[in-house]
Structure 1
Amino acid sequence: MKQMDTLASNLFFLLRCQAARHTHDIATRSSRRAISYRRIWSRIERATARLQGEWQVMPGDTVIYWGNAHADALILYFAVARCGAQLLPLERAEVRALADRVWRMHPPRAVIHDEGLQPAPDLPAGVVATLPELLAVRCPHQERAIEDASLTSLIDLQVEDGKLVERCYSLAALSTQTAQADVAAAHETVEVRDVLFDVPLLAARIFPALARADTVSFS
């Protein structure tokens, strides 16, 4: 229960602790690679530095993720949150079909997409880049992390009854849902398939797995 209390207050702190205590344990696994807790935290720091230093993502900005449940998109989420910005994932086809409207609602500072899955060129953004470009090894900038879990960090858009419905979440709100979830199924495999940024999946399965230093698998 102590880990869940820590998670509800500061998931950033807990991930740093996991990187130190469970250095070589695998945090995420996909067909492409397995990433340890130490490496996932170093990638979060690098992505934060690149978003801020190279792409000028500021607090309150919107970053769009255009992709399908890529393991590195989890790193993107934490990096965006550490910038004080908000991630707007477009993983569902029915929401992508309304991209013009989404862009009007939330003009993005940056669009980060899976390789081979790029938004239409007439959808403007300050930066359009792939996840590998975000996580490229060399980044000369220093991060200036904010780590305010009370700020909105996730915009969830869904089509309900033909209407585009928006819900916003802070990391603190998501983590509180995690602390209230049933986490008795320790070491149960957590597998992500088509959608990563499903709020119940994040709060009740993925965040508890990270709190236990378990592995989140991506298929």
Structure 2
Amino acid sequence: MTFRQFAIGLTASFGLAWLAMVVVPFFKLRNPSPVSFEEGIDAQEGIYHPKRAGRVVNGANVYAANGCYQCHTQVVRPTYAGNDLGRPDFGGLKADPERGDTRRESNVFDYIGLDFAQIGVTRLGPDLMNVGLRMEANYGADAKGYLYKHLYNPRLIPALTDWSSCPSFSFLFETRKITGQKSEAALDVPTEDGYEVVPGDQARALVDYLMSLKHDDPVPASMNYAPATSNQEG
């Protein structure tokens, strides 16, 4: 084998793999064809238009800048690739008070229009695709306060997250001397007498972004896990 043949073979091997794994999926998924609801199968008619969660761009940038994607994913895997829909509220709410079971897998439409899809690298922490739903369901009006406290020190909540390996993002908060009345935004965390901890602009943007993560809109059965007809446990 000559060097030229070796070089051509090596280039073809990597080039074909790059073409199949990067180029083709990029052009195929960048502008997916509309999907219709099917009469007699779906509860509604027409074309599927994904609900936008009102993502906060500044918060998404804070999320990326602080490497949150290193430990958290934002994708509810299809059932053949994992058991995400069996995990508590990963894919939506199993018992939504108004709509019942809203769980569903992620689809390409969830990422359309984003500058960067925060798919994530690993799951050292829980998936965040529907963290806004989970926080509202579990903590109600205190949801943002819980997230602020978790970001400030993930191990401040005994028996709930005191085992967390998440790093502290206390640098996103300001410790300041109390002048007059204590701020309504002050965190319920240990401080020196006469001082309070309040979220900074980046902490507020990040929490707003996390609370916006909700993907529970009905999708056509052709692209959705159907809880009523599956033997999936969870």
Say whether the fold is shared (TM-score over 0.5).
no
Is the strand fraction higher in 1 or 2?
1
